[in-house]
Structure 1
Amino acid sequence: MTLKNVIGIDHAVVMVRDLDKAAANWKRLGFTISPRGTHSAKMGSGNYTIMLDPDYIELLGVLVETEHNAPARAFLAKRGEGIERIAFTAVDSAAGAEEIRARGYAALGPTDFERPVTMPDGTPSAAKFRIFQWPIEEAPAGVRIFACQHKTRETVWIPELMKHANGAKRLKQVLIVSTEPAKDAAHLGRLIDRDARAEPDGAVAVPSGSDRADFVFLTREQVGRRYPAASLAGLPERGGAGLVMATSDLSAAEKAAGGSAVRSGDAVCVPPAAANGTLLAFVGI
């Protein structure tokens, strides 16, 4: 039975070592970057967001070492920069945590936190969240998952931040590399009560729910066959690999990314080395 309080992908978390440098890097690729946010003290982290519709990308960095961010620090130490976790949209985090506990998973949370936000007119406000996590060890192909309830959507999805020079509109796929794609896809399917489906090239997709982006599990070699012109230097053999994004204008995406962009079939790609360990593939809407 599908989870009632968890719908599709909300945002992808790209873990970075230097927040300000990462933000400048993604700005060079044609993204509009939110002002820097600082999370509650127990989180010990800060972020920049890249707002899409209905989802977004979060560039996340550790500002102060805390117990809460120990897994993120371990990720950076072992893997380096890249997609560290994926968030789902939670309708009600407390009820969602109970739903997965009823399925035998020891949910972490719910946890409330917030970050200050300066609105476009200069007034101070706050973005407030309530999250819960699946157990840390329940990480398909090493990618952690959690669910995020937005208590103040109006301070996150700000229209001025949703217009990008590269025409980016929304996430279509989250690419996860695995030496055993079918096994890891089935693992995720059990966690979120979704059925996996085989793709023509042997990859395995798991719908995240609603009209949101799909997860696609595939080997590193399969990624290379999908995007043969893009260098995969820096991608792991197992873990979060890339984001496929719909753009309103492929030419604009190519122009915005400049020398980092390569055409690969029907996609404009930015290799992981140019996007903090994340393969970016822009495709037409």
Structure 2
Amino acid sequence: MALRHVIGVDHVMVLVRDLDAAAAAWRGLGFTVSPRGTHSAHMGSGNYTIMFGEDYLELLGVLVPTEHNAPMRAALARREGLDRVAFTTDDAAAGVAELQAKGIAATGPIAFGRPVELPGGGTAEARFQVFHWPQSARPAGLGLFACQHLTRENVWIPALQAHANGACRLLRIEVLAADPQAGAAELAGLVDRVAEPEADGAWRVASGAGRADFVFLDRATLAARHPDVSLDGLPQQGAAALVLGTTNLAAATAALGGAPAVPATRANGVLLRFIAV
């Protein structure tokens, strides 16, 4: 039975070394990017968000080294790219208890916030509570946590949800794995869902609530799914590609320079593909 307090994918986190340069690059791909946010002091990080309908993409970087962001700095020393995925939780404390009752050593909740510049002027505060699966639980290198939005209206701001490329939602998170079946099975066990085989040898885990699916696959299968895009800049293992839904595939293709996909070398370590929805 699916977890009661862990709903589908909430957002994905792309780690970047230069926040402002990354924001400029993603604007150049036709995304509307929020003003830069600064997290609570103990976190030492900052972000830009790219908001869709029910989910979003976060560009995350270190502003000030702290004990809390040491793992992020270590990850960035290796590469930029999609490092973690957040699930929505409706109750962070209950979510931790639910996982712990299943023998999973979840930690939290942790409260934090960041100021938000409002389109009409002024500022508000976005507040969250998050919890984490254990650090050792990283299926095919993918980190997991869950986020409870305490001030959702200060994150999903309508002016930030319209994009020149028509992007409207996350459809799939494609994860490179030496053993796709094992990676999918590990994730399925961590979120109490089922891993299902795909026709091309990939393995899919639905995240729930009609949100984005996780797809675990090897490099040959990833190449076959994206034959028109270079795989340069992708990790040997780990989250590699995002498939996004767009309401206007022609606009997406134009924004990306003539194709509905871009290689990881143009998007901070993440291959991007657009599909009409």
Look up the match of 1:66.
Answer: 66
Superimposed CA distance per residue, residues 221-255 of structure 1 (whole angstroms, 9 cap, x where no aligned partner): 11100110100101111001011001011110011
Look up the match of 1:256.
Answer: 255
- The alignment partner of 1:228 has SS state of coil
Look up the match of 1:236.
Answer: 235
One-letter amino acid matched to 1:282: F
Q: 1:146 offset after TM fit, Å?
A: 0.1
Structure 2 Cα separation of the partners of residues 72 and 143 of structure 1: 13
Superimposed CA distance per residue, residues 157-182 of structure 1 (whole angstroms, 9 cap, x where no aligned partner): 00000000000010000010001000
Residues 172, 244 of structure 1: 8 Å contact kept? yes
One-letter amino acid matched to 2:221: Q
Structure 2 Cα separation of the partners of residues 118 and 276 of structure 1: 25
Structure 1 Cα separation of the partners of residues 6 and 65 of structure 2: 29
Residues 51, 162 of structure 1: 8 Å contact kept? yes
Residues 204-219 of structure 1 aligned to structure 2 (within 5 Å):
204-219=203-218
Look up the match of 2:160.
Answer: 161
Structure 2 Cα separation of the partners of residues 54 and 216 of structure 1: 20
Structure 2 Cα separation of the partners of residues 154 and 284 of structure 1: 27
Structure 2 Cα separation of the partners of residues 20 and 91 of structure 1: 32
Look up the match of 2:195.
Answer: 196
- The alignment partner of 1:6 has SS state of coil
Residues 219, 237 of structure 1: 8 Å contact kept? no
Asked if 1:282 corresponds to 2:274, the answer is yes
One-letter amino acid matched to 1:253: A
Q: 1:123 offset after TM fit, Å?
A: 2.1
Look up the match of 2:171.
Answer: 172
Structure 2 Cα separation of the partners of residues 68 and 99 of structure 1: 25
Look up the match of 1:90.
Answer: 89
Q: 1:138 offset after TM fit, Å?
A: 0.3
Superimposed CA distance per residue, residues 8-43 of structure 1 (whole angstroms, 9 cap, x where no aligned partner): 000000000000000000000000000000000111
Structure 2 Cα separation of the partners of residues 42 and 109 of structure 1: 15
- The alignment partner of 1:76 has SS state of helix
- The alignment partner of 1:188 has SS state of helix
- The alignment partner of 1:222 has SS state of helix
Look up the match of 1:265.
Answer: none
Residues 40, 114 of structure 1: 8 Å contact kept? yes
Look up the match of 2:54.
Answer: 54
- Structure 2: give runs of 5+ residues left out of the alignment: none
Q: 1:279 offset after TM fit, Å?
A: 0.4
Look up the match of 2:35.
Answer: 35
Q: 1:192 offset after TM fit, Å?
A: 0.1
Asked if 1:125 corresponds to 2:124, the answer is yes
Look up the match of 1:75.
Answer: 75
With structure 2 as the length reference, what TM-score do the two structures score? 0.99
One-letter amino acid matched to 2:264: P
Q: Using the aligned pairs only, state the percent identity.
A: 56
Asked if 1:270 corresponds to 2:269, the answer is no
Superimposed CA distance per residue, residues 182-216 of structure 1 (whole angstroms, 9 cap, x where no aligned partner): 00100000000000100110000000011101000
Structure 2 Cα separation of the partners of residues 65 and 135 of structure 1: 22
Structure 2 Cα separation of the partners of residues 205 and 101 of structure 1: 25
- The alignment partner of 1:197 has SS state of strand
Q: 1:128 offset after TM fit, Å?
A: 0.4
Look up the match of 1:12.
Answer: 12
Residues 82, 277 of structure 1: 8 Å contact kept? yes
100-109 or 51-60, which moves further after superposition? Answer: 100-109
Stretches of 4+ aligned residues off by more than 4 angstroms: none
Q: CA RMSD for the aligned pairs?
A: 0.8
Structure 2 Cα separation of the partners of residues 199 and 118 of structure 1: 43
21-30 or 62-71, which moves further after superposition? Answer: 62-71
